Amino acid sequence: MTDAGLPPQPEGSDNRFRLALYLIGVLVLLLLGVWAATSITFSRGGTTATAPAPEAFASATIGEGRGSSGGSVAFARLDERLARLAAQDNMVGLAVAVVEDGEIRFLKGYGETMGGGDPVTPNTVFRWASLSKGVAGDMVALLAERNKLSLYEPAGKYAATLKLPAGNEQKATISDLLSHRLGLFGHANDSKLEDNMDPRFLRRTLASLNAICPPGQCHAYQNVAFDAASEIVEKVTGQRYEEAVRDHLFGPLGMTSATMTRAGLMRSPSWARPHRGGRNSKPLEVAEPYYRVPAAGGVNSSIKDLAIWMQAQMGLAGGVLSPDLLAIVQSPRAYTPGEMGRMRKFRERITKASYGLGWRIYDYAGHRVVAHRGGVSGYRSLIMFDPERRAGVVALWNSSTSQPGGVEFEVMDMIYRLPPRDWLGLDTRPTPAQPQPSETINGIADVVGNAGAEAAANASR
């Protein structure tokens, strides 16, 4: 017996013991690495938040065109109707995702990235257009939640290039900016932006326009002015707008395909080329102007990442977007009766429309839904969801037809178990591709009060 009371060990046992300890240590380190991968942290200004890893958003049941049974959405019927839609001549490519009970249960691409090109998949990147405004609303609200600014401070305090009639940039609040209540006629200076003029210069020239109402008193949709939100973010964070959004929103949410530049779109492994017509038309050049107003229309991503974004808006990423923040951006700030004209085809379902901070809010057959649509030359997009039910739909396509817009109503009807309707127009004459008088088609100028002739003219765009 040895001093330890143990029998003598065979020769080489010390080496085997050390090897065993080493292997145990490696195993512990591997387990710690797996644990660390289940959460993502981000910090700024001494604050740290933890967000669920991307896997927390993507249900294990998702797949290309595969839906989970047991819910109210008839995925097989939806897939059949989307395949019929995608086969029409006015279409090129289409991607759709559905979230039900908080899970991505349908995720599929249809058609091609361009005529004779690669097939659209859940990873094909499109432009979001004005769905980008919800990103700006969330980003600015996040800074307000961290006490970096107040939504009720003058927008001009942080956006040096924003100049409004009569010095109203010192009266219009950041909330007014994000809800399109600056007192300007709709789409002010958009045509000049499309002529490749610098948006910062164009924001300065807004002061020379005639105001249609005092700030906060009427709603008229903006792009050039709205992008003052990117200046606000840059001033407060000290980062470029796209970097701040990446670091504080897209990165923590695991949105790996999301970018905000023309180059970012075109370097994606799979990206949809823009078309003004359908599958038999030639692709367009990717237009630059609305990338220059990134808060208004600069985001690109796949349908999968757009679905993850929608999940976050439902409150499923509390470590990134808190319930209080979501309540702020998704609360009505302005009633938008003009929006009802644009949605007149769906008046059986939509009975009230308003605007929050970068988000539209509708009464949908007695239910509150949050939504937005978007469009730039050759691309269109949509999002609509019920935050309480944690259910909704997103779609991206690379042609100018408005026909796929009916998918949000077909899906929401299923969610609410309403009688099915042919909102996609598949059983009637298809909607032809619509010519675009200008690059932007992402909003209607909703004007309340005495807007004047100039505002009325812009309201039709």
The b/e string for 35-69 (b: 16+ C-beta within 10 A; e otherwise) is eeeeebebebeeeebebbbbebbbbebbeebebbe
For the full predicted model, state whether its pTM sits above 0.85.
Answer: no
Confidence band of 71 (pLDDT split at 50, 70, 90): confident
Q: Using the predicted structure, report yes or no on whether residue 144 has a pLDDT greater than 90.
A: yes
pLDDT of residue 434: 46
Q: Using the predicted structure, report yes or no on whether residue 13 has a pLDDT greater than 80.
A: no
Q: Which two tokens stand for residue 193?
A: 């932006």
Rounded Cα gap, residues 1 and 455, in angstroms = 100
For 98-124, what is each residue's pLDDT tens digit?
999 999 999 999 999 997 789 999 999
CATH of region 50-459: 3.40.710.10
Q: Which of 373, 423, 371 is nearest to 396 (CA)?
A: 373
Confidence band of 25 (pLDDT split at 50, 70, 90): low
Confidence band of 18 (pLDDT split at 50, 70, 90): low
Q: Using the predicted structure, report yes or no on whether residue 454 has a pLDDT greater than 80.
A: no
Mean pLDDT of all residues in 215-233: 98
Residue with tokens 């004047």: 452
Pairing of strands 391-397, 103-111: unpaired
Q: Which helix (H) or strand (E) holds 386?
A: strand 379-386
Q: Considering the chain, what is the average pLDDT of its residues?
A: 85
User: What sections of 38-111 are H helices per DSSP?
Assistant: 75-86
For 374-417, what is each residue's pLDDT tens digit?
999 999 999 999 999 999 999 999 999 999 999 999 999 999 99
Share of the chain above pLDDT 70, in %: 78
Q: For residue 93, what are the β-bridge partners?
A: 111
Q: Using the predicted structure, report yes or no on whether residue 155 has a pLDDT greater than 60.
A: yes
The SS3 call for residue 50 is: strand
